[in-house]
Each structure stands twice: as C-alpha cells, then as structure tokens.
Structure 1
Amino acid sequence: MNSYNMRWVLSLFGTAIGAGVLFLPINAGMGGLLPLIVILILAYPMVYLAHRGLCRFVLGSKNPSDDITFVSETYFGAGGGFAVTVLYFFAILPILLVYSANLTTTFIDFWINQLGFAEPSRLLVSFIIVTVLMLFSTLGEVLVTKVMSVLVFPFIAILIIISLMLIPYWNGALFTNVDFGTVTTSNFWLTLWLVIPVMVFAFNHSPIISSLACSCKREFKDEAEKNSSNIISKAIILMIVVVFFFVFSCALCLTPQDFANAKTQNVNILTYIANRFPESAFLAFLAPIIAIVAMSKSFLGHYLGSQEGLNGILYKASNGKIQGKKANTITAIVTFLIAWYVAYANPSVIGIIESIGGPVLAILLFLMPTYCIYKFEVLKKYKSPILDTFIVIMGLIAISAAINKLL
C-alpha cells in the first residue's frame, strides 16, 4: 500500500460512505439477525463485482484521457454514447443535490439546537456551504482526492468510537426468537428486497470509479486493471469492516421494533439512539457533525463523476468545441447555481428525483458493464458466467425495489 494506492482507497471510501450509512442500520435491522447475516455475506461480492465491472468498462480504452463518457461512445457509437453520458450525469447529479440540501438543513439545525444561536438565513448558509464545497471540488482530481483522504480519517474514527460507546447498551434482543424457518416467510424476503438498494446506495462509489480508471491508466499502463481491482477490493474491505461494526453495534443495542420506530419517525440511526438513550447527550452533539463530514466528502467524490458527465455532454453537444478548462468552468458554474438553488429551496421533489436516479445508477453499475462484457471483443476476456449472473440478479433486485419505492 503505497501513498498512491492509499489515497485512492480512502477516496473510494470517502465517496461511498456518506449519509447512507446512517440509514442502513435501520433498514437492515428491522428483520432481526438473519437478514443482517445475509447482507454481510452479500456485501463484498455484490459491491466489488459491480464496481470492478464499471472500472473494466472504462479500462476498455487504453487512452488515459478517455473517461466513461468517451469510452461509452467507443462502444455504442455517437448516439448511444451520448445517451449513456446523459444517463450517467442524471444518475449522479440528484445525489449531489441531495447532499447540498441536506448539508444546509443539518448545519442550520446544528447551529440552532446544539450551538444555541438564532436561526440564520437559509439563503446565506446555502450560499456559503455550496461555495466552499465547489471551491474544493474545482481544485482538480489530485487535490480533491487528498482532501477526501483527510476527511475520511476522522469519519472512520468517529464511527468506531460511537460503535464502542454503544457497547454498554448491548443486549441479547437480536439473538432472541431467531427462527431459521423465517427464511421461508415473506417478511424475510421482503426485508432483503428492500435493504439491497439501501446497501447499494450506502456503498456506492461509482461516481469516482471512472476517475480511478483514468488515473490507473496513466500510472500503471498495462497493469491498470490489476491495480485498480486491488484498490477497489481494499476500499470495500475497509468499508465493510467499519460499516458493519457500526451496523451490528446499533443492532445489538436496539430491537427490531426500535428500528421500525426509527423508520416511522424518518430519522437517522444516531438521532434515534440519542433519543432512545438520553443520557448519551454526547451522541446528540456528534450526530450532526458526523452527517456534515460524511456528506461533505461524498459531495466532493460525486462532483468528480458529475463533472465528467456534464463535460461529456458539453463536448458532444458542441461537436468538440467545448472541452478542457472551458468545459470545467461552465460545469462548475452550472453545478453551483443548481446546487445553491436546491440547497436554498429544499424542494420535496428531491426524494422522487433520487428514486429515479437509483434505478438509472443500478443500470449503469450492474447491467451495462455485464452486457458489454458479452457484447464487445475487448472485454470478453473478463467473462465469468456465474459471477455475471449473480451481479445481474442483484442489479435487477435493486432496480425493482427502487421502482417499488416510487410506486
């Protein structure tokens, strides 16, 4: 693990592990012990194979400057490549907007409830937050990944500290009434069905995968696939160790009914725990700080993907006239204005947009790379029927559950 690999491992972790991890314990814990064990087993192969497939999709072109928007044109032609670029952009942009809005709300709540100050102007707060995030986002890939790497360390530390703080509240409720016959019941399968898209979102780092692939092409040339797969694997192992320690620690101090109550109240797991154990006021103070750090670093990682998408749209719509620094400037201005508006207005439509982006993301992450492996000669060397079938099934489950959320 040299400094290059470590920087990218932490950047992938930082992109993936954001606010979603604060809701994963709720969805996973409602079904008791057995669904938790099943998703723990599924987590690594599902997340690793999907992201490795997307990385290989980008590595199909040896040109280091060819990111996902240009590679998709190589595979599908001008029209198909443009369609994939648009889908890629609209799969990532909604998540970016959700982070900008939720960051503003979380900061204002923290300012009022924890710090005890008067309510500030949302217009001003949203402007400052989005401006700071965009300034960091436009520093370039190397600096962005370095900033994310720095933010990751305190986030990992805080998650582990909170998991350890919950140990005195552990009880045996999770292990009581464990009936292995429940795997034949509809509730067990319903819990798994609904938790898979949440897990996909909680571990999703696809927006930064294209940047990783391009960087590895520059750094390792013909060894890019081997090294990028190694980086992705180590990042996911780190995610699983930290996140599932947190998930199981939460599950061991609460009951399935507690998780159902948290879902009904529409609060994240730390907020519910702080209310459930009022003597842990420290948690109530930590919760918004964790959320702010988590969403800030995820915003930076998602911006790299969003920038690629919009730059690709501008390039193709202008027949190559808008590219490089000019495209980056236009992308930054457009993203800033949209993110600032959404952060200020905080429209309720965000949830619907996110649900629409979910299926699109699953298509791009699970289905498209697998299809390309069997369609295009340059990728056929990666064929593995058993693993490919598994990842397609997981993708279809994630898509169907996300669509069900819309309905």
Structure 2
Amino acid sequence: NQGDFTDVIQEHFGVKVGRTISWLYFLSIFPILLIYGVGLTNTVESFLVHQAAVTPPPRVLLSGFLVLILFSIMLGGEKVMLRAFAVMVYPLAAILLTLSLYLIPRWNMPSLTLPNLTEFTQTLWLAIPVVIFSFSHAAAISSFAHIQRRHYQQNALLKSEQILKRTSLLLIAFVLLFVFSCILTLSPDQLLEAKKQNLSILSYLANVTHNPLIGAFGPFIAFIAITSSFLGHFLGARESLNGLITKHTRLSYSIADKVGIIFLFLTIWITAILNPSILGMMEALSGPVIAIILFIMPMVAVYKVPFLQAYKKSFSTYFIFVSGVLAVSALLFRWLN
C-alpha cells in the first residue's frame, strides 16, 4: 500500500523487467518537464516584450528564476502543493472557457472540402503521439492514489474512479472547445508561425490580435496552465527518479531525493536556456514513450498479473493496445523518413 510505481512494477514483472519499465516511465515524464520549462520561459519572455513593453532579463536569469519558483512550490510540502493546485485549477478552467467562447465571433469558417483519404489518414496517424502527450496525466496518478487511499481509506477505489471519470470528461470537453476555438480563429499560416516562434497558442494570440482582453488573459492562462501541468508531472518524475536511484545505489531516500532535485533543476534550466522546439520534443520523445507505458504495458499486465486477468476480454483493453501500437509506429515512420 505504501509502495511507489517502481515497487509495484517490480512486484508484478520481476526485478529486471521492472527496472526497464521504471526507466521508461521516468523517460516518459522527464522530457515533459523540459518542455514545460521551455514553454514557461517563452511565455513570460513574450509577455514582457509584447504586452508589458519592457526588455526582458537575459534568458539564463529569467529561466533560472522561473524554474526556481516552480521547484519552491513543490518543495513546500503536500499542503502547499495542493493549495497551489486549488488556487490555479478553478480560475484556469473558468477563464479558459470564457476565452474559448469569447473567440467564437472571430472564427473564420473554412470552405470544407473532402481531403485526400490517404493524406488525411496519415496526418491523423502521425498526430497520435502529440494527442497522447496532450491528454496524459499519468505522472500524477501514483501520488493521487496515495492521497485518495489516505483520505477515503476503504472507499478509495470507488472514489478515485468517480473523480477520474468526471475530470476526464471535463478535460476532454474544455480542451477540445479551446483547441477548435483557437484553430478557427487563426489561419494555417499563423499556426505555423506560432510553431516557428516556439510559443504557446495563447501567447501568439495575445501578440497578433492586439485585443486588450486576450493580451491580458492569454499569457496569464498559459502561465497558469503550464505551471499546474508542471507540478503534476514533477510528482511522477520525482517519485520515479528517487525509486530508480535508491534501487541502483546505496543512497538513502533523503539523499536520493536531494540528488534527484538537483539533477531535475539543472536539466530543466539548461533546456529552457537552449530553447529547443517544443512540438519536436513532444513528437520525438514523450509521446511514443508515454504510449508504451499507458497503452502497451497495460495489455501485457492484463495477461501477466492475476487480478487484472478479468479485463482480458474487455473491448477497452484492445482499444488501448491498438492506440499504443499506432503511436509507436508513427514515431518509427517519422524516424525512417
């Protein structure tokens, strides 16, 4: 009941396979933290230049300060972290919904034509890794399970399923409304320009619309969204890295935690300074590894772990597996081409 992700994996898959899966789990989360470090720095830098009309500090100082703020929240303890989540999530959802609806009058409805079926299918296929990345919140599940078990005790499983079902439906509804609203507001050329500038869509909207409301709330929403997502993924990265360090070395958990925090801080900071392509990192690193952890490993677990064998004939099991295969094959196709 008190074990972390690495303990559970080793219990059911053995030490050698468990270590491999644990490394994959960490590698599925770690690039996401790097992405959020880059995204947060670019968001604040763009806000200072375009909305605040001030010269931003050197990127090395700005990125270091922002990453330090994120780490300070996480190291403040569980109560500080949960309070930070509560403060951010509800205003974020409300403002995101308001902005999505506010953009509707700006929609440019395209002339709908039937695309080439082969090209359209290939585009959807290659987009799967990014879609998986966008909706994944697996990194926070282990910590979520611990907190729910402590809070609800015997009813933890039922309550967790209810919470995850409701939040997943809300997540899909809010995200899809926001995505379609942004896509219909901007032209394909503008979306490509946002990608080239390595900016979030909200920061780009604030820069090109010259609308005071979007200019004020766009970067703010992007900042809150990136921060809340970073905190959730940091939980999983910290837990998995600590488990890997303690199981591969003789370091105590407290020392391993300090080493892990220093490693994460430095790598996120350095990546934020270098400013690599965010979408490129999503497609090449996080999406496919997340697909293996979230989609293929559960299929293996259903046949290997006794208490999961009840799901062998479930449609969702095979749907999950096929989704994972499509995501990984999309990566291989990109590499080969």
**Do both proteins adopt the same fold according to a TM-score greater than 0.5, normalized to the shorter chain?**
yes
The whole-number CA distance in structure 2 between the counterparts of 1:294 and 1:310 is: 24
Moved more, 305-314 or 346-355: 346-355
Q: Which runs of 5+ in 2 are unaligned?
A: none
Matching residue of 2:285: 356
How big is each residue's C-alpha offset from its partner over 1:180-232, in whole Å with a ceiling of 9 and x where there is no partner? xx6x8113312321333222121110110111222233334454332222111
Q: Post-superposition shift, 1:110?
A: 1.4
Name which of 235, 238, 249 aligns with 2:167: 235
Matching residue of 2:86: 149
Q: Post-superposition shift, 1:307?
A: 0.4
Q: CA RMSD in A?
A: 2.6
Matching residue of 2:273: 344
Matching residue of 1:106: 43
Q: Post-superposition shift, 1:158?
A: 2.0
**Map of 1:172-251 to 2, 5 A cutoff?**
173-174=109-110, 176-177=111-112, 179=114, 185-251=117-183
How big is each residue's C-alpha offset from its partner over 1:37-57, in whole Å with a ceiling of 9 and x where there is no partner? xxxxxxxxxxxxxxxxxxxxx
Task: Determine what percentage of the aligned residue pairs are the same residue.
Answer: 37
The whole-number CA distance in structure 1 between the counterparts of 2:205 and 2:269 is: 32
The whole-number CA distance in structure 2 between the counterparts of 1:110 and 1:194 is: 32
The whole-number CA distance in structure 2 between the counterparts of 1:290 and 1:344 is: 22
Q: Post-superposition shift, 1:178?
A: 5.4
**Map of 1:315-326 to 2, 5 A cutoff?**
315-318=246-249, 321-323=251-253, 325-326=254-255
Closer, same or farther: CA 336–268 of 1 in aligned 2, 3 Å: closer
How big is each residue's C-alpha offset from its partner over 1:297-337, in whole Å with a ceiling of 9 and x where there is no partner? 11111110000111111110125x422x3332222222122
Matching residue of 1:282: 213
Closer, same or farther: CA 248–97 of 1 in aligned 2, 3 Å: closer
2:291–2:324 CA contact under 8 A, matched in 1? yes
Amino acid across the alignment from 1:401: A
Is 1:370 aligned with 2:296?
Answer: no
The whole-number CA distance in structure 2 between the counterparts of 1:336 and 1:249 is: 35
2:206–2:214 CA contact under 8 A, matched in 1? yes
TM-score of the aligned structures, taking structure 1 as reference length: 0.74
Moved more, 211-220 or 367-376: 211-220
Q: Post-superposition shift, 1:366?
A: 0.8
Closer, same or farther: CA 81–239 of 1 in aligned 2, 3 Å: same
1:94–1:354 CA contact under 8 A, matched in 2? no
2:48–2:54 CA contact under 8 A, matched in 1? yes
How many equivalent residue pairs?
Answer: 333
2:130–2:283 CA contact under 8 A, matched in 1? no
Closer, same or farther: CA 339–270 of 1 in aligned 2, 3 Å: closer
The whole-number CA distance in structure 2 between the counterparts of 1:128 and 1:274 is: 23
Q: Post-superposition shift, 1:353?
A: 7.7
The SS at the match of 2:284 is helix
1:359–1:403 CA contact under 8 A, matched in 2? no
Closer, same or farther: CA 399–334 of 1 in aligned 2, 3 Å: same
2:34–2:272 CA contact under 8 A, matched in 1? yes
TM-score of the aligned structures, taking structure 2 as reference length: 0.88
The SS at the match of 1:69 is helix
The whole-number CA distance in structure 2 between the counterparts of 1:139 and 1:403 is: 41
Matching residue of 1:333: 262
2:104–2:181 CA contact under 8 A, matched in 1? yes
Is 1:138 aligned with 2:138?
Answer: no
The whole-number CA distance in structure 2 between the counterparts of 1:248 and 1:329 is: 42
1:170–1:252 CA contact under 8 A, matched in 2? yes
Matching residue of 1:388: 317
Matching residue of 1:21: none
